[in-house]
Every structure is written in C-alpha cells, then in structure tokens.
Amino acid sequence: MAEAAAFPFPSDHPLHPAPALAEARKGGAPVRVRLPFGDPAWLVTRYEDAKAVLSSPSFGRDAHRAGIPEERTARIGPIDVSDRTIMTMDPPRHTQVRGLVGKVFTPRRVERLRPWTRGVAERLVTGMQEEGPPADLVRHLALPLPIEVICELLGVPSSDRDSFHAWSDAFLSTADRTPDRVRESQARIDAYLAEMAALRRDDPDGGLVGALAREHHEGSRLNEEELLGLLRALLIAGHETTASLIPGFFYVLFKEDGFTRLATDPGLVSAAVEELLRLVPLIRPGSFTRYALEDTVVGGVGVPAGDQVVVELSAANRDPDAFADPDRLDFERGRTPHLAFGHGLHHCVGASLARMELQVALETVAERMPGLRPAVPLEELRWNEERFVRSAESFPVSW
C-alpha cells in the first residue's frame, strides 16, 4: 500500500481547492492520507463516492461504536469538537435525538422567521451605511446577523451574545491549543448552557431550550451530556457556519463579477445561494471522519471494518462528472444537488435556516447597496485558517 500523503493538501488560498484534490479525484479511487492527528484514513473526493459513504449504513460517525479510541481517530485538531454531540451519533440514538430538534428547523417554521430576519438585516445594513465607507462587512453584517437569529430562536438574552461568541470562537480555534484548553473552552460554554436550560425547563415559553431541558429532566430521552452537546452544537453551528459563509459568498461574487448581476436582478438570489454553497468551502478539510463498521467497497477500493474515511465535500462539489465546468459560477446551473450540507442521516438539521439567512443577507445588500465593492484588493483579505470553519478576519467594503 502506498504511503499516506499528508492532509490537508496545500492550497494558495483558503477558498481555492488544493490542486492535489483535483488530481486525487481524477484517479477515481480513494487515496490514503494522514491527518495531523490519529491513524491514516481513506480520502474520498468523487461526488458519487461521497454520496455513497455519507448514506451507507456501513459507515458511522460514532468512533466509540466502531471500536476506535480517541487517540486513533483521524482528525485535524487535538480533539474532535463535534464528539459526543448529535453530529457523532449513530442510529438509533441519532434518530431519536434528531427528532427532538428537527421540527424546529422545518422549512415552514423557518419561513415564518424570514420577515423578522429581514428586519434585522435592514437594521444592520442601515448601521453600515450610516457609519460610511469603508465598512467591515464581517463586523456589520456577517457576524451579527446569524448570531441574532440563532439566539432569538434559542432564547439567548441579548446581553449574553457577545460573551457567547467569544467562547465559541475560542472553542472552534485549532491553533496552538492542547486538549485541555479545548475542554476548558467547552466547559465555559456548557456551564452557561446548563444554567440557561435549568432556567427554561419549567417555563412554558422556554422554547426549544426549555423543551429539550424537560426531555432531560423527565427522564428520559436525553442525558445531561447529550443535552449540553446538542445545545452547544445548535448554538455554535447555528451562527458560526452562516457567519463564515457570508464573506466567502461575497469574495466569490466580487471575484467572478456576480454581485452586479444580483444587484440588477435580485430574483436570482435563491439560485445564487445554491451555487455559492457549492463553490465556497466551509468546514476545514478532514472534518467529520466516517468509520467503517464492516468490510465494504468505496470507489472500487476495499475498505476493511475499522478503517476511517474522510469525505472532502469541497472536492465532491467540483466533480466534473456531476457538474459541468465545475469551477465556474453559474446561476443557471442544472439541478444536481450540492453536498455543502452533507447527505444522508447527517444532512445538516439547520440547512433551511442557513439558506434563509444567506438569501436574506444577499437580497438585502443587493437591494440596499447595489454599488457595493471591495475596499481593498481581494488578495489582501485575511482568512482565519486555524478554525474549524474558515472565516474572514475582516472584509472592508465601499459603495
């Protein structure tokens, strides 16, 4: 067997796929890679192979169930920040827990939140206009919009939102951090969430947090670790992902001259969001490893039980066998579904919410600020590559 290559592969920009990913995809079969931590893994880059792994019962997300100790799990950070959350559960537990939260994020419920979200976006854009150019798109819109939405949905008081974001930012950073420091950040978040859950448990208007706290208190379907892990995942993922995607979207729109089209025809926003989700990588390469629960075959390669598989969604979303001219921004692209939100059992439970927020952000800016443009050359933007999600440190814009 060939020696495992170091992964993630080098790239000239955080939002540009590494050339070695395309080479691996051309080869067809999965290749062996070694992540910064843990055992070697198989790297899957083709669209059809990615869908197969993500939907196959031969693979799980629970390393403990697969008999793989933490020190052997293939991962990019000192510990897996998704460990012991809904993201690492397998059926039947995953099915039970997801059922408790899935009804909150249905398209119908999310749509009822759209007018309120648009109001928040309007207020934020007005604040940016009043401050005048150049303004930071991250500070004025990309960060506060999703924080306000998820905190409103889960009931986090306005006075606590800045503190929570600081804890979340520390928790998701992968730079120069030991497992002890990761766990320290997690402990701070969990202490806050435990207090909030206790306060909301007996409140009829306690919303989702109160409902989940009652599930734990009444015995039952959530133990304390699961309750805190679920709340942590919902609150962090519910704002970090969208906050990171918004500047990535504008980077691609400016780079490919797509924003002018949106400003001219806001009716393209929904299609643009789907195309940008396909093109803009979010999660750092090597996240969300799958574990083979039995001997199986992927892309013509035998994968023994106990082996680990990394599905690189950014490569699958640019597979020319699935998307014609895959590196081009095309608002009229066909209906082949992208995998930005995953696939199968672990398809992102908050996908509808993220889509709505991204649509509102692009639509509001395109309508209110049709002359928006970067205030610095795009190549001068600084991106934080030492976090679980890729994010711009700032994004100066003018109009």
> pLDDT for 10-67, tens place per residue?
998 889 989 999 999 999 899 999 999 999 999 999 999 999 999 999 999 999 888 8
Those residues whose C-beta lies under 8 Å from the C-beta of residue 231, and which sit 6 or more positions away, are 154, 193, 196, 197, 209, 212
- Hey, how many other C-beta atoms are within 10 angstroms of the C-beta on 378? 14
pLDDT interval class at 388 (50, 70, 90): low
Instruction: Return d(Cα 359, Cα 229) in angstroms, integer.
Output: 28
Would you state the pLDDT for residue 294? 95
User: How much is the average pLDDT of 277-290?
Assistant: 88
User: How much is the average pLDDT of 237-247?
Assistant: 87
User: How much is the average pLDDT of 227-252?
Assistant: 86
Those residues whose C-beta lies under 8 Å from the C-beta of residue 93, and which sit 6 or more positions away, are none
Share of the chain above pLDDT 90, in %: 53
Instruction: Please provide the average confidence, as pLDDT, over all residues in the chain.
Output: 87
Would you state the pLDDT for residue 219? 56
For the chain, list the domains and their CATH numbers.
5-398 (1.10.630.10)
Give the H/E segment covering residue 243: helix 224-255
More reliable by pLDDT, 386 or 309: 309
pLDDT greater than 70 at residue 121: yes
Instruction: Return d(Cα 250, Cα 261) in angstroms, integer.
Output: 13
pLDDT greater than 60 at residue 397: yes
Share of the chain above pLDDT 70, in %: 90
> pLDDT for 130-152, tens place per residue?
999 999 999 999 988 998 888 88
3-state secondary structure of 306: coil
Go through the chain and tell me how many residues it has. Answer: 399
pLDDT interval class at 359 (50, 70, 90): very high
Question: H helices of 60-219, where?
Answer: 93-102, 107-131, 137, 144-154, 161-172, 179-200, 207-217
Would you state the pLDDT for residue 169? 65
